[in-house]
Amino acid sequence: MMPEFRRLLAALVLAAAACVSPAGADEEGASADGAGVAQIDLGDLPPRAEETCFYSRDIDRFTALSDSFVLVEDRGVAHYLLTLLPGCVGVDRSLRIALISDLQRVCANAAPRIGYDGPGGPETCPIIKIEAVEDRAAAERLVEMRSR
């Protein structure tokens, strides 16, 4: 019984290996670059984002990317993606967004909020996460990936 199992297992392994070929390989199994190494597409990995804090006095601009995410720019040098508590309505259509915090150094664990013009008047929304991102494009990509 055991030799039959080993033969079956070996046949399955060989069949699986025959079905898998490196990216860019032609019919003979040689890769286009000659290295014979499978290529990995890193395009679907999220951009780098690191939880952080920032100083409110350094903030230049707020941009609502959706009702759940706001991009904050720090004098054009640093960019921060704010994740808001779910349920905030009208953030993405607001013309005015402001930061509300008791401290100059704004961290998510210190209960900061944003204030904005909501559909029925002034609203506030808690910030639950602050992440440093490379730029606006990276923030938009993260929002797209997280909104799926």
Phi and psi at 6, nearest 5°, equal -65, -40
Q: Identify the pLDDT of residue 90.
A: 96
What is the distance between the alpha carbons of residues 84 and 113, in angstroms, rounded to a whole number?
Answer: 8
Q: Identify the pLDDT of residue 26.
A: 47
> Is residue 110, in this structure, part of any structural domain at all?
yes
Q: Identify the pLDDT of residue 76.
A: 72
> Is residue 104, in this structure, part of any structural domain at all?
yes
> Is residue 33, in this structure, part of any structural domain at all?
no
**Full residue range of the structural domain in which residue 69 is found:** 49-146
Compute CA 130 distance to the chain's CA centroid, rounded to the nearest angstrom. 12
> Is residue 31, in this structure, part of any structural domain at all?
no
What is the distance between the alpha carbons of residues 107 and 101, in angstroms, rounded to a whole number?
Answer: 9
DSSP state of 46: P
Q: Identify the pLDDT of residue 41.
A: 55
Closest CA to 135 of 59, 91, 74: 74
> Is residue 39, in this structure, part of any structural domain at all?
no
Beta bridge partners of residue 98, listed in sequence order: 115
What is the distance between the alpha carbons of residues 148 and 139, in angstroms, rounded to a whole number?
Answer: 15
At 12-71, the pLDDT tens digits run 444 444 444 444 444 444 444 545 555 555 556 677 888 999 999 999 999 999 999 999
> Is residue 42, in this structure, part of any structural domain at all?
no
Number of separate domains in the chain: 1
At 76-135, the pLDDT tens digits run 789 999 999 999 999 999 999 999 999 999 999 999 999 999 999 999 999 999 999 999
Can you give the C-alpha Rg of the chain in angstroms? 25
